[in-house]
Structure 1
Amino acid sequence: MKLLQQPKAVLAVAFACVIAFMGIGLVDPILKPIADSLGATPSQTSLLFTSYMAIMGLAMLITSAVSSRLGVKQTLLLGLVVIIVGAGLAGLSDSIRAIVGFRAIWGLGNALFVATALAAIVSASSGSVRDAIIFYEAALGVGIAAGPLIGGVLGSISWRGPFFGVSVLMTIAFLVTFLLLPNAAARPRPSSLRDPFRALRHPGLLGVALTSLCYNFGFFTLLAYTPFPLDMSTQQVGLIFFGWGVMLAFASVILAPRLQGSFGTIPSILIALTGFALILAMMAIWTDNKTVLVVGVVAAGLFLGINNTLVTETVMNAAPVERGVASAAYSFVRFSGGAVAPWLAGYLGETINDHVPYWVGAAAVMLGVLVLIASRRYLSHLDESHELPAIPAHEIPEAPAGDTLGDTPEDAPVAAMARS
């Protein structure tokens, strides 16, 4: 897919995505400075991620309903405004509780923006669903890579700097989206708040969502806890996570499609998850060695990039429902792992030792491997056809009594839908 051949609407949303995803890594280098300045413990400081991810996950339940009523452009703009306000107020705060609260507001805005942006890029792209998702993940990778670097520079001036930086960057994203993204000619059928739960009746989508919940547990253990045992300056931490982001972007765009072409979608995800679990186990064994931690963080970006692209594509094609509904259902489940992991990692590190959070993260990722293996029979259509016809979530049939991830594929709703 050639970048310049994409419609301006896709380019506008992608640019806004780059800036939006900067917000995830922008605060990473300042976690320890915030803790030192405000007298907070690692578990208290990690609540910056917990409140952000928890509200983001819960808010995902309303994103499809909101966007189907307001329209894509208005929902994106609303999300950006909420992020601008939340980040700005966090920068003005003088207590860890206030910052945690305003990060929750930030998470609400990010939910409205991120879920809608993915659906918008997939719908408006001039290429295939696969190409659109690679393009989306490229924007994600660039944003995540740049975030820690900018956060390290601004954080070296003041821990408040990255929060104000997010507000400024999001204002730019708001203007770009407002000026370049046209209003949709028609709005989709208004969806119900119950549609994401109905979509999760589909065992393939549910399996992928639960896998991502486990994977995100390990991901946010790495992201939120590692700055504490590293105990380096904001600029050093920013550079380390910049390297992580570069590897993530490279793997998202280059490695993921090649692995998928060679081994198939599900086997490639299993390879990436297993590799990431081994990285976390390595960091658990040699937590006291900063060189190992640095190498582990950067190398993890490769496995995370592969996983991000392939899992996102899997979600878009796992169940024959509207993509906005599928994204909302999947994101609601997976961000639960991102909400719990930062606080738990900090608590385990404080009460036991620095090794335990990484062991728990590695175990969670391996649990995700087992869940995906159990549900792979419902995803066998992925490498046969990259798209399923979308049907409204409320028309998904109830699973037969006693149907579980371990039942025969003939009993699975996906089998019947794939044959139709």
Structure 2
Amino acid sequence: MSTKPNPVPPITITEEPGILKQPKAVWAVFFACIIAFMGLGLVDPILPAIATQLDAAPSEVTLLFTSYNAVMAVAMLVTGVITSRIGMKKTLLSGIVIIALFSGLGGLSNGIWELIFLRGGWGLGNALFVATALTAIVTLSNSGNAKAIILYEAAIGLGISVGPLLGGWLGAFSWRGPFLGVAVLMVIAFVGLMTMMPKAPASSQVNNKKASLVDPFRALKHRPLFVLGFTAALYNYGFFTLLAFSPFVLGLDEHGLGVVFLGWGILLAVTSVFTAPKLQKWFGTVKAIALMLVLFALALAAMGIWTSTQWVVITAVVIAGALLGNNNTLITTAVMNSTPVNRSTASAAYSFLRFLGGALAPFLAGKLSEIYNPSVPFYTGATVVLLSVVFILMNQKHIHHVDEAEGH
């Protein structure tokens, strides 16, 4: 049985040099990514404070992540349509403006449901920015696609790691501080992109064809892309169980939570750049993804078993950062290699599935803790992550070409 050749050149992490030799436009997007993802980490240390000061249950506070991820998942489907019509720069700037607006309004809100709604608007801005930022860095980079993806994942890791520390410091004054802080940071990012990114770089347009709303759904008909996207949805359930619910069981103040998630984010950033390429070389992409997911499931299980033992939960959270950093780079690279579909469309389809998993986890984690006990959300997260391993291994025949393209 013959297979059609993949017209999109494969990405390999290990052989492309010059990650630091980038045009200034790439660095502008890189630093804007750091600031955008600070928004995710900035909020984490203040979740217990929001629950206390707005008289909200954990399941209500975790909706701040659910609304954010749900809106972002759906909005990912239209990012390609918008970008193909107004261009990358305008899409990035529009996303930044929306993030600044809704985060600023969130800092001025007075009720949990109002804050949940505004957090959803923040997710819309983040979708426009994040999906386009990946495409922009890959398109504008002159060091190869794989290194561009590593650069993007490093920006995510740096933003997530610095965010909690700043969020803990601002949150110690008021829970409103991190929301207002994000708004200010996004204004800085806006100025940086306006001045450093070309208006319409020739290389920014992959093709002149305008994207359609149905393109991502058509892309999901490609079995390899669906397999990796559904795997990411299950894995992201565990990711956001840890991110949204662990602050409620750690028993730390804003500063303490900031430090813990600083360690988590630093390991996430470092491993996404330095160890993911080695794992891909040693094991191949698919086996390395499965290994990281198994270890992550074990970390979540440990958090469930020893929920009331603070040092175990702290250690598991920090170690999970390393596992997540490796997996993020590996699975993003696999997605870009998995299908002949245009990379922007593939990214949108993959992100849609990925963030659906992230939308379900926070709310269910809060509810499960209220109905049963605080250990159950972590057990559930571990089970779902293990299901992602089973799913990817059962469908390995559909994605074996990812490793074959890399010489495994």
1:193 aligns with 2:213: yes
User: Unpaired segments of 5 or more residues in structure 2?
Assistant: 1-16
1:73 aligns with 2:89: yes
1:309-357 deviation per Cα after TM superposition (whole angstroms, max 9, x unaligned): 0111111111111111011000111111110100100011111101100
- Distance, in Å, in 1 between the alignment partners of 2:337 and 2:89 is 24
1:275 aligns with 2:295: yes
Matches within 5 A, 1:100-111: 100-111=116-127
Counterpart in the other structure of 2:269: 249
Deviating 4+ runs (over 4 angstroms)? none
- Distance, in Å, in 2 between the alignment partners of 1:88 and 1:324 is 30
Counterpart in the other structure of 2:11: none
Shift of 1:385: 2.7
- Distance, in Å, in 1 between the alignment partners of 2:33 and 2:337 is 22
1:128 aligns with 2:144: yes
- Distance, in Å, in 2 between the alignment partners of 1:272 and 1:225 is 21
One-letter amino acid of the counterpart of residue 283, structure 2: F
Counting aligned pairs with the same residue, the percent is: 53
1:117 aligns with 2:133: yes
Shift of 1:123: 1.2
Q: How many pairs were matched up?
A: 387
Counterpart in the other structure of 1:151: 167
One-letter amino acid of the counterpart of residue 117, structure 1: A
Matches within 5 A, 1:81-230: 81-182=97-198, 183-185=200-202, 187=205, 188=207, 189-230=209-250
Corresponding residue SS for 2:404: coil
Shift of 1:384: 3.2
- Distance, in Å, in 2 between the alignment partners of 1:127 and 1:57 is 30
- Distance, in Å, in 2 between the alignment partners of 1:113 and 1:375 is 32
Mapped contact 1:130–1:386 kept (Cα < 8 A): no
Mapped contact 2:250–2:310 kept (Cα < 8 A): yes
TM-score by length of 2: 0.93
Shift of 1:386: 5.8
Mapped contact 1:27–1:163 kept (Cα < 8 A): yes
- Distance, in Å, in 1 between the alignment partners of 2:233 and 2:387 is 10
- Distance, in Å, in 2 between the alignment partners of 1:386 and 1:322 is 20
Shift of 1:3: 4.8
One-letter amino acid of the counterpart of residue 201, structure 2: A
One-letter amino acid of the counterpart of residue 103, structure 2: A
Mapped contact 2:368–2:374 kept (Cα < 8 A): yes
- Distance, in Å, in 2 between the alignment partners of 1:377 and 1:128 is 27
One-letter amino acid of the counterpart of residue 112, structure 2: I
Mapped contact 1:259–1:268 kept (Cα < 8 A): yes
Counterpart in the other structure of 1:46: 62
Corresponding residue SS for 1:341: helix
Counterpart in the other structure of 1:364: 384
Corresponding residue SS for 1:287: coil
Shift of 1:42: 0.2
- Distance, in Å, in 1 between the alignment partners of 2:245 and 2:400 is 36
- Distance, in Å, in 2 between the alignment partners of 1:7 and 1:253 is 19
- Distance, in Å, in 1 between the alignment partners of 2:339 and 2:394 is 17
One-letter amino acid of the counterpart of residue 91, structure 2: T
- Distance, in Å, in 2 between the alignment partners of 1:217 and 1:46 is 13
Counterpart in the other structure of 2:8: none
1:228-266 deviation per Cα after TM superposition (whole angstroms, max 9, x unaligned): 111210000010000000111111011101111111100
Matches within 5 A, 1:8-27: 8-27=24-43
Mapped contact 1:137–1:249 kept (Cα < 8 A): yes
User: Unpaired segments of 5 or more residues in structure 1?
Assistant: 388-420
- Distance, in Å, in 1 between the alignment partners of 2:354 and 2:395 is 16
- Distance, in Å, in 2 between the alignment partners of 1:324 and 1:181 is 19
Counterpart in the other structure of 1:331: 351
Counterpart in the other structure of 2:373: 353
One-letter amino acid of the counterpart of residue 151, structure 2: F
- Distance, in Å, in 2 between the alignment partners of 1:255 and 1:375 is 25
1:261-311 deviation per Cα after TM superposition (whole angstroms, max 9, x unaligned): 111100000010000000001111000101111001000001100100011
The farther-off stretch of 370-379 and 159-168 is 370-379
One-letter amino acid of the counterpart of residue 50, structure 2: I
Q: 1:246 to 1:206 in 2, by over 3 A?
A: same
- Distance, in Å, in 1 between the alignment partners of 2:376 and 2:401 is 39
1:11-36 deviation per Cα after TM superposition (whole angstroms, max 9, x unaligned): 11111001111111110000000000
RMSD between superposed Cα atoms in Å: 1.2
Matches within 5 A, 1:303-318: 303-318=323-338
